[in-house]
């Protein structure tokens, strides 16, 4: 892992869901795209959390149309620069007991409300990405 950057291993592109969307909507997106998590955004397009399969499992006994993402998401979202080392990213996931990090681009965009810059999410780094990298590099 020495010398490997997050950008070399991450999954590019980010699927998001609004914090007031229903869990049923999230389940549909996750099933359609065969993914295990979504980035959660606010009305100003700010990243406010992450929704994972484990968050959803906790509410399967409820009406999924009535439960809102903001009620069950993990917040705040933890992010890292795509230029950071893979070793550091793994350390952050371990320290925070999380399975994915939001990867921030170096580019800053204007926030949706026009009041300041925001760093744009450009990808996700999951434990699965790290495992696959280790395997393809012959480390496992």
Q: Work out the pLDDT band at 104, boundaries 50, 70, 90.
A: confident
Q: Does 18 fall in a domain?
A: yes
CATH no. for residue 41? 3.10.580.10
pLDDT surpasses 80 at 40: yes
Q: Does 1 fall in a domain?
A: no
Q: Does 122 fall in a domain?
A: yes
pLDDT of residue 65: 97
Q: Work out the pLDDT band at 119, boundaries 50, 70, 90.
A: low
- What's the number of domains the chain is made of? 1
Transcribe 54-92 into DSSP letters: HHHHTTTTS-TTT-BHHHHSBSSPPEEETTSBHHHHHHH
Q: Does 47 fall in a domain?
A: yes
CA distance 131 to 6: 13
CA distance 39 to 77: 8
> Can you give the residue range of the structural domain that contains 61?
6-136
Q: What is the mean pLDDT of residues 110-139?
A: 75
């Amino acid at each position: 892992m020495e010398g490997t950057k997050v950008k070399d291993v991450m999954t590019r592109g980010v699927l998001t869901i609004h914090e007031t969307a229903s869990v049923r909507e999230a389940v549909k997106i996750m099933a359609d795209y065969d993914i295990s998590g979504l980035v959660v955004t606010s009305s100003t397009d700010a990243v406010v959390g992450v929704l994972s399969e484990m968050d959803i499992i906790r509410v399967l006994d409820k009406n999924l149309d009535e439960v809102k993402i903001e009620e069950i998401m993990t917040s705040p979202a933890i992010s890292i620069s795509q230029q950071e080392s893979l070793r550091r990213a793994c350390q952050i996931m371990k320290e925070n007991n999380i399975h994915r990090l939001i990867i921030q681009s170096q580019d800053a965009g204007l926030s949706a409300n026009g009041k300041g810059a925001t760093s744009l999410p450009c990808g996700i780094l999951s434990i699965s990405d790290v495992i696959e990298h280790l395997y393809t590099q012959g480390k496992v």
